Amino acid sequence: MPIFKAYGDSSFQDCKQASEEAMATITKNLQGKLFLDSESIQARAEAAVLLKKLNFPMDNLKAKLFEKLEQSLEGLQLKHEDIANVLVESNNPSEQGNNTESVPGSAHDALVCEFAEAVRAYQVIFPDSEKQLIKLSQDLIAKHFEITAGYIKEWIPIANFLGALRIIWKDVHLMDKVLREALLPDCSLKASQVAVKQYIKSTFSHLLHDISDSLTNVHIKPKEEAKEHLLVVFLEAGKTAVLQGSVNVLLDFRQLLEENLGGLQLSNLIIVWVREGFQDFFRALHDRLLLISGKNKSASQDENSTEGMQVEKVIPGLVLVLAQLSVFIEQTAIPRITEEIAAYFSGGGGLASENGPALVPGEICRTFHSDGEILLQHYINMITQKILVLLRKRFTAPNWVKHKEPREVHMFVDLFLQELEAKRTEAKQILPHGVLRKHRRSESNGSTASSRSNPLREDKMIRSNTHRARSQLLETHLAKLFKQKVEIFTKTEYTQESVVTTVVKLCLKSLLEFVRLQTFNRSGFQQIQLDIQFLRASLKEIVEDEAAIDFLLDEVIVGASERCLDPIPLEPPILDKLIQAKLAKEKEQTPISL
């Protein structure tokens, strides 16, 4: 150039002209290269540097160059393929060597390196463009975290999540070397905390969904409820989903503790988030079990998702499964999970949880202990209500004042016993046997019954018309019934016999109320006497509190006699003959098994 300036108009005129033509061609080619999409980011940056050396006015191209650089960010977005390649890379460290170009998954690294070189070149070409370059660099990392957050919502395995964080921090360190003014490590630290916390929360949500799914088939297929061992299958599935699912989640979270992502030192925060997450998870599981059972009606009405089940469609067998699952969570799952947490997630560096104590196992155990009792009672109420429909029809349909003389035990007794046997079979699937306590009446109870029954019947047979005598008799009867009430309805245990006994007690108590609403002639009263006497022998085989059942059966007969116009009972020989005839008929109908 100095020679051309001095002698370009004389002896070097042809050379100068040829040189200018060559420079014009190069400049044109470089300009075209700047905006050619097929060229890499780094190649375009090199073209820009060469143009500046050729004294090309770059300010005119600045806006277009930065627009192209911004568009190139779309090709750098985090993809599932990039994460998968990182996993391959981490699983095959021996194949990596020292040449990163040969490592699978380095395509993303190559693109980011090109972007970093472009940023470096633009710093030289446009010294006043630092703010724009900082914004582009921050947008690149922010987009990485935004895409990762989307993956977390869909839920990804822990290995994929850690792979995504490794890619992000590798990009952060690369860009930080080129543009420290962007303060990418500081911004990324906060974003990483948010991502890790979001992943822990999403994992617990996914676990809750898995547990709900393990119980879904019981709800969807009520016709299969009668199949043998069906409830056992779903109870075991629920137990596995809770316990093994929680253990697997803890194993994932241990990987988070062991991972050193760019020296983040998130261990204390992870410990707090995990402990707090388990507390919230069990609270949500408590609500979910009540919702599935139909017990939490308001929640089921508010939910629009498919998990908001209608109370009318909930089958009793599902509620019994949920009751037993609550017992398992209280007695087995929570102690095991607490041990795991104490072993690997203790401490927390004194960091406090946002919502009070991070994990209180005692509170969780009390919650599920209460849930078990509530759900067991809900199960009993559901099957009792079904049986009461049968009893109500029996006592409201006939005209008891015109009842005919009893010839046999009424059909409703068979239906009643069939319903009890069906629920007894259902309970056998998942409830253990209890100690069969045949509480027979003591002498005091026996004397009380005889003093209540015989004088009552004598008074009724005499049929005193004085209002005072009838009122006194009724008051005495109610007072004694109230006195015995606490002894009759005791706490229900998680055993087959206890559940069936409680159902029988509730049914007989309601039967007594139905009787008190009717008026009987002598034949109607005798029919009640016959049915109750047959029930007495049948119920003794399936209940554990014989004394209470006998008492309630007696109360039904007493109540019927009080509402009878002519309370003359059947003679014992006739009563025995009718019962024996019923037993013989049942024996004939029962198939003989060889």
Higher pLDDT, 411 or 217: 411
Task: Say if residue 502's pLDDT is above 70.
Answer: yes
Residue 575 contacts residue 530 (beta carbons within 8 Å): yes
pLDDT of residue 449: 37
**Mean pLDDT, residues 498-510:** 92
**Between 582 and 487, the higher pLDDT residue:** 582
pLDDT at 499 over 80: yes
pLDDT at 288 over 90: yes
| pLDDT at site 398 | 81
Quick one: what percent of the chain has pLDDT higher than 90?
Answer: 38
481-491 average pLDDT score: 60
Encode 168-194: b = buried (16+ Cβ within 10 Å), e = exposed: bbebbeebbebbeebebbebbbebbee
**Between these two residues, 483 and 120, which has the higher pLDDT value?**
120
Distance of alpha carbon 479 from alpha carbon 534, whole angstroms: 28
Mean pLDDT score, 276-288: 94
pLDDT (tens digit per residue) in 352-402: 455 445 688 899 999 999 999 999 999 999 999 999 999 899 888 888 999
State the Cα–Cα distance between residues 440 and 436, nearest whole angstrom: 12
Has residue 306 got a pLDDT over 70? no
Query: Would you list the DSSP string of 181-213?
Result: GG-HHHHHHHHHHHHHHHHHHHHHHHHHHHHHH
pLDDT tens per residue across span 213-246: 888 765 445 444 445 568 888 899 999 999 999 9
Express each pLDDT in 445-478 by its tens digit.
333 333 344 444 334 433 333 343 344 445 545 5
pLDDT at 267 over 50: yes
Rounded-to-integer distance, Cα 443 and Cα 421, Å = 32
Query: What distance in Å separates the CA atoms of residue 420 and residue 422, rounded to the nearest whole number?
Result: 5
pLDDT at residue 279 greater than cutoff 80: yes
520, amino acid identity: F
pLDDT band at 183 (very low <50, low <70, confident <90, very high): very high
Q: What is the pLDDT of residue 476?
A: 45
Supply the pLDDT for residue 25. Answer: 82
Report, as an integer, the average pLDDT of 563-575.
90
Q: What is the pLDDT of residue 487?
A: 61
More confident site: 318 or 30: 318
As a three-state string, the secondary structure of 370-429 is HHHHHHHHHHHHHHHHHHHHHHHHHHHCCCHHHCCCCCCCCHHHHHHHHHHHHHHHHHHH
**How many other CB atoms are found less than 10 A from the CB of residue 425?**
12
Give yes or no for residue 432 having a pLDDT over 60. yes
Q: Sorting pLDDT into bands at 50, 70 and 90, what band is 348?
A: low
pLDDT of residue 79: 82
pLDDT confidence bin for 299, thresholds 50/70/90: very low
Do the Cβ atoms of 108 and 51 come closer than 8 Å? no
Assign 332 to helix, strand or coil: helix
- The answer, yes or no, to whether residue 208 has pLDDT greater than 70, is yes
Q: Angle at the Cα of 377 (from 376 to 381), degrees rounded to 5?
A: 120
Mean pLDDT within 44-67: 73
Q: What pLDDT sits at residue 492? A: 87
Residue 96 confidence class, pLDDT cut points 50, 70, 90: very low
Q: Answer yes or no: is pLDDT of 98 > 50.
A: no
Q: Which of 121-125, 308-312, 438-442 has the lowest mean pLDDT?
A: 308-312
Question: Residue 535: what pLDDT?
Answer: 92
- By C-alpha distance, which of 132, 198, 117, 124 is closest to 161? 198
Its pTM stands at: 0.76
More reliable by pLDDT, 98 or 288:
288
Give CA 287 to chain center in angstroms. Answer: 9
